[in-house]
């Protein structure tokens, strides 16, 4: 008899320990966030390789990207990836630090196609440029909008409101 839908065949601590061991060079601060999520940090330069390896992992396999969020942490930006494993019915929250001065990180659209619009939203609202993205342009704001309004240092401009 196979697994029942919604069950996890692996203990969360085991999943976190396996990820910490198998990705030791690339993932840091790997920890369990109850009840079904592992949180980890990944270096910006390693993101693409880590994403491919996470998706292809034979036993844990984070096959599905649920969303990407751009976050302004004042001193730096973060691109946060929320991915799901059908094999273990668990989530991974992957944090990638992005410097404000060079707000760029590789796209993961070619790994998880669902990243397409999420990366566009992160670019539009926070200003993280996703290198290699097939169509990185504004998705929520008008094309000539100046700035990225979810940045903590954002100051609105009169040119963004020509009819005011």
Q: Would you place residue 1 in the very low, low, confident or very high pLDDT band (cuts 50, 70, 90)? A: very low
3-state secondary structure (DSSP) of residue 14: helix
What is the number of structural domains in the chain?
1
Total residue length of the chain: 164
CATH number at residue 37: 3.30.460.80
Q: What is the mean pLDDT of residues 116-135?
A: 98
User: So what's the pLDDT on residue 164?
Assistant: 73
> What mean pLDDT value characterizes the chain?
94
Quick check: is 123 in a domain? yes
User: So what's the pLDDT on residue 5?
Assistant: 57
**Window from 3-12, 44-53, 64-73, 142-151 with minimum mean pLDDT:** 3-12
Domain, as residue range, for 113: 12-160
Quick check: is 73 in a domain? yes
**Does the pLDDT of residue 112 top 50, yes or no?**
yes
Q: What is the mean pLDDT of residues 30-44?
A: 95
Q: What distance in Å separates the CA atoms of residue 49 and residue 28, rounded to the nearest whole number?
A: 15
- pLDDT higher at 125 or 161: 125
Q: What distance in Å separates the CA atoms of residue 66 and residue 84, rounded to the nearest whole number?
A: 7
Q: What distance in Å separates the CA atoms of residue 75 and residue 52, rounded to the nearest whole number?
A: 29
Count the helices and strands in the chain (H runs, E runs). 3, 7
Tens digits of residue pLDDT in 44-77: 999 999 999 999 999 999 999 999 999 999 999 9
The whole-model pTM stands at 0.92
Quick check: is 7 in a domain? no
Quick check: is 4 in a domain? no
Write out the DSSP string of 30-42.
EEEETTTEEEEEE
Quick check: is 105 in a domain? yes
User: So what's the pLDDT on residue 161?
Assistant: 87
Quick check: is 1 in a domain? no
Quick check: is 5 in a domain? no
Quick check: is 31 in a domain? yes
3-state SS string for 50-110: HHHHHHHCCCCCCCEEEEEEEEECCCCEEEEEEEEECCCCEEEEEEEEECCCCCEEECCCC
């Amino acid at each position: 008899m196979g697994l029942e839908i919604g069950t996890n065949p692996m203990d969360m601590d085991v999943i976190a320990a396996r990820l910490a061991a198998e990705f030791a060079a690339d993932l840091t601060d790997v920890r369990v966030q109850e009840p079904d999520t592992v949180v980890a940090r990944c270096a910006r330069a390693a993101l693409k390789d880590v994403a491919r390896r996470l998706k292809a992992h034979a036993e844990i396999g984070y096959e599905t990207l649920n969303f990407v969020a751009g976050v302004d942490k004042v001193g730096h930006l973060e691109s946060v990836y929320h991915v799901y494993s059908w094999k273990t019915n668990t989530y991974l929250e992957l944090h990638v630090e992005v410097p404000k001065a060079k707000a760029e990180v590789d796209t993961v659209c070619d790994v998880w196609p669902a990243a397409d619009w999420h990366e566009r939203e992160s670019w539009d609202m926070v200003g993280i440029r996703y290198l290699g993205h097939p169509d990185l342009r504004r998705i929520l704001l008008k094309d000539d909008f100046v700035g990225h309004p979810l940045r903590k240092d954002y100051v609105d401009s009169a040119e963004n409101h020509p009819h005011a």
